[in-house]
Amino acid sequence: MTNSTHKSKIRELYKTQRSALSPTQCRQAGLRILKHLQKLPTQHPLCLYSSIQNEVDLQDVRDWAIKMNREIYYPRLGSDKMDFFQLTSADHLVPGKWTKEPTGSRRLDKLTNAIVLVPGLAFSMDGHRLGFGKGYYDNFFLDFPNLIRLGIAYDFQICISSWAPEPHDQQMDYTLTPSSIWGGRGLLQHPII
Ligand code: ADP
Ligand code: MG
């Protein structure tokens, strides 16, 4: 079996597990992720995501960030890549190709010191990520190599990696789950976020 076939099989397994969650469980997980985020320094802009298919729901993170006047950004898909645009009000998210996307025109600056919250289907204990299989975040981080990357996962999505990370796969700095923080690239690059 090729590595990409193997990755696809693992994706299906985790999609099935995640599909059993209720909206309340998705939101509760987001609230516990918010508790971790509230312990981080406040000067970093945050790149969030609009959840689909039972991903950890970050609506309470978004509402907290807006209330605290934090600069926040959401992804928007172009024809072949993903970029982040600023969001100033929850009303400014509208249905896009897959997720709700921001209507704003202020694009994330290359020099920003943002923290990016990265959804995924599974994460290894050292920050290797299985996404939806389109490589959008891998390619985004090639363009923005210095941003701090935080995988966002349910506890059951942390696993011993049985897939081989590929050269293009971008490692997370840390992965946050409701009950833990897992190290990755960040233990060397961002020992204190
Ligand atoms: P995901 O990160 O969403 O889990 P993959 O890492 O499996 O997805 O990438 C999906 C596809 O895109 C793969 O076929 C991979 O080879 C290709 N790909 C992604 N990023 C790059 C890149 N920077 N260079 C070359 N191919 C890439
Ligand atoms: Mg990848």
pLDDT by residue (tens digit) across 64-120?
999 999 999 999 999 889 999 999 999 999 999 999 999 999 999 999 999 999 999
Q: Is 65 inside a domain boundary?
A: yes
Res 192 pLDDT > 80: no
Q: How many angstroms does the Cα of residue 135 sit away from the middle of ligand 2?
A: 5
Alpha-carbon distance values, 4 to 95, 107, 159 (Å): 30, 32, 18
Q: What's the domain range around 103?
A: 3-182
Indicate whether 188 belongs to any domain: no
- Tell me: the pLDDT tens digits for 6-53? 899 999 999 999 999 999 999 999 999 999 999 999 999 999 999 999
Q: Report whether residue 6 contacts ligand 1, using a CB cutoff of 6 Å.
A: no
Per-residue confidence (pLDDT) for residue 168, from 0 to 100 = 96
Closest ligand 1 atom number to CA of residue 166: 6
What number is the average pLDDT over the span 168-179? 97
Single out the residue of 177, 174, 173 nearest to residue 157, CA to CA. 177
Q: Which atom of ligand 1 is nearest to the CA of 7?
A: 7
133 lines ligand 1 (CB under 6 A): yes
- Ligand with an atom nearest the CA of residue 136: 1
Does 187 fall in a domain? no
Ligand 1 contact, 169 CB (< 6 A): yes
Residues 189 and 26: their CA atoms lie apart, in Å, by 30
55: domain CATH number is 3.40.50.10420
Domain membership of residue 189 (yes or no) is: no
| Rg for the chain, CA atoms, rounded | 16
Domain assignment present for residue 193? The answer is no
pLDDT at 5: 87
SS3 category, 85: strand
Tell me, yes or no, whether 192 lies in a domain.
Answer: no
Given a contact cutoff of 8 angstroms between Cβ atoms, the answer to whether 108 and 82 are in contact is no
> Are 127 and 175 within 8 A, CB to CB?
yes
Q: Is residue 120 part of a domain?
A: yes
pTM of the model: 0.96
